């Protein structure tokens, strides 16, 4: 796999949303699941973080955990805030929406960032937009929708990273 930024032989991927309790831990869990299913667990380091600090230390939202569990995925992470170091420690920093993308890009301007910073939906083979909607203020159906978007997009991201590694 491609792993320039960290100097490691492992590809490091960080998923980022606002509070790190809904979308990014779901993306982290889905991507970890896909990587394990592909037999590539030893080739990746996967994490998630939020641009905000409101939920630091908290587990994922119970609705996100419930939807993930219904699909055979356990969300194990605890919320943390993204740091400037993350932008050079990770090879790929993947934002859930444009607001978080802009926050990451502003942070990158003032650091020695080497990570490729992108939107997760850039890898969605069937996009109906470029953002993963924030399900926090809605019901479980919003989390199901996010799960579907995240799964398609993470499959596309893994396909891209595997193609880059085979070059």
**Catalytic residue (choose from 12, 17, 86, 97):** 17
**Catalytic residue (choose from 23, 63, 121, 152):** 23
**Is 91 one of the annotated active-site residues of the chain?**
no
**Is 22 one of the annotated active-site residues of the chain?**
no
Give the up-direction half-sphere exposure of residue 101: CA atoms within 13 A in the CB hemisphere: 15
**Model confidence over 11-38: pLDDT tens digits?**
999 999 999 999 999 999 999 999 999 9
CATH code for the domain defined by 11-165: 3.40.50.2300
**Is 47 one of the annotated active-site residues of the chain?**
no
**Catalytic residue (choose from 47, 89, 124, 134):** 134
* Distance of alpha carbon 134 from alpha carbon 22, whole angstroms: 8
- pTM for this model (two decimals): 0.94
Q: Are 87 and 111 in contact (CB under 8 A)?
A: yes
User: What is the domain partition of the chain in residue ranges?
Assistant: 11-165
**Model confidence over 38-64: pLDDT tens digits?**
999 999 999 999 999 999 999 999 999
Q: Which long-range contacts (CB under 8 A, 24 or more apart) does 67-73 make?
A: 67/26, 67/140, 67/143, 67/144, 67/146, 67/147, 68/26, 68/29, 68/30, 68/147, 71/147, 71/151, 72/33, 73/29, 73/30, 73/32, 73/33
Percent of the chain with pLDDT over 90: 92
User: In the prediction, which pLDDT does 160 show?
Assistant: 97
Q: How confident is the model at residue 9 (pLDDT cuts 50, 70, 90)?
A: confident
């Amino acid at each position: 796999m491609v792993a320039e930024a960290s100097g490691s032989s492992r590809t490091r991927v960080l998923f980022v949303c606002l509070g790190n309790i809904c979308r990014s831990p779901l993306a982290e869990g889905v991507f970890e699941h896909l990587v394990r299913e592909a037999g590539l667990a030893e080739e990746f380091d996967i994490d998630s973080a939020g641009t905000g600090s409101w939920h630091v230390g908290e587990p994922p939202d119970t609705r996100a955990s419930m939807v993930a569990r219904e699909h055979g995925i356990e969300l194990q992470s605890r919320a943390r805030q993204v740091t400037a170091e993350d932008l050079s420690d990770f090879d790929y920093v993947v934002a859930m929406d444009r607001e978080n993308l802009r926050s990451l890009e502003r942070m990158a301007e003032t650091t020695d960032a080497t990570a490729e910073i992108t939107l997760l939906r850039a890898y969605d083979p069937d996009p109906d937009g470029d953002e993963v909607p924030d399900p926090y203020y809605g019901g479980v159906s919003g989390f199901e929708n996010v799960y579907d978007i995240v799964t398609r997009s993470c499959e596309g991201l893994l396909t891209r990273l595997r193609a880059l590694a085979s070059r």
